[in-house]
A and B are shown apart, each in its own frame.
Chain A
Amino acid sequence: MSFTGINESDVDRMYLTLKKEAEDGGYRLNPDVDFTKNLIRGLLKNEQRYGYRACPCRLASGRAAEDLDIVCPCDYRDMDINDFDACYCALYVSDAIAQGGKTVSSVPERRPPRSDRGKRTAVHTISTGPVPALPLPVWRCRVCGYLCAREQPPGICPICKVTKDRFERFI
């Protein structure tokens, strides 16, 4: 599908950027380039109409705070790659699929339904018992799990390149 106002040279440029960023962080883009570029057109379309790159396979609300979990790469990507060899929209895939040993199939939705959203803080809360006093807080990237101990989370996750607002206080 093509969309009005989406420039093909932007699609090609974004494809190369995402591919490099993915591979630098140990991730893989879907090897089906046509399918992948189609998803990129969707991401650019969503950026144009909502102001952020919401998952092309999910209905965005248009309200950034409510959709933070589905801004690509989404909070569910790594779990879906582990369990189903691809993220929900199949932009990112496992090594097995990237190398052609497996094919992608439909991934069930793990994002909570509309009625259960907004209660998303508890997803990764793990009971740890008493925690020793630390000189700095520990921040966790909700997308890739990267941890760092510093006053504030980094502006960009060094592993998966998501922005600061995707970090949560971990300890």
Chain B
Amino acid sequence: MAVEHVDGKDKGNVMLFALSTCGWCGKTKDLLRQMGVRFDYVFVDLLEGKEQDDAMNTVEKFNPHGSFPTLVIHDKLAIIGFREQEIREALGP
């Protein structure tokens, strides 16, 4: 899976499932960058076939609607959509 890595403060495992064309996904990515958090992200629309299916199954495990952005923190908490305050609370200083 084409996972991109962004370096920053270690807050544990932070994984962003996003779409390359989505405005809210872009805002979420910008917020994490601005907060200086270390995270990984993947553009699910750029994956193909089984890789995309596997990624969707993972997204749906945390967010049954399978919508984007889905931010998975520590493999258990999911923040769905660009929810700035929730993201800041979960990963703030």
Contact = CB atoms under 8 A, between A and B. Distances in A.
Contacts of B56: 59, 114
B82 A57 contact: no
Nearest to A112: B65
B70 to A, nearest CB: 10
A57 B60 contact: no
Contacts, number: 64
Interface residues of A, number: 25
A44 to B, nearest CB: 9
Contact of A59 (B19, B23, B24, B83): B19
Given A113-B64, A114-B60, A57 B25 contact: yes
B22 interface: yes
Interface string B3-37: 00000000000000001111111100000000000
Interface of B: 19-26, 44-45, 56, 60, 64-68, 80-83
28 contacts: A1-B20, A1-B26, A3-B21, A35-B23, A38-B23, A38-B26, A39-B23, A41-B21, A43-B21, A46-B21, A56-B19, A56-B21, A56-B23, A57-B23, A58-B67, A58-B68, A59-B19, A59-B45, A89-B22, A89-B23, A106-B24, A106-B81, A106-B83, A109-B67, A111-B65, A113-B64, A114-B56, A114-B60
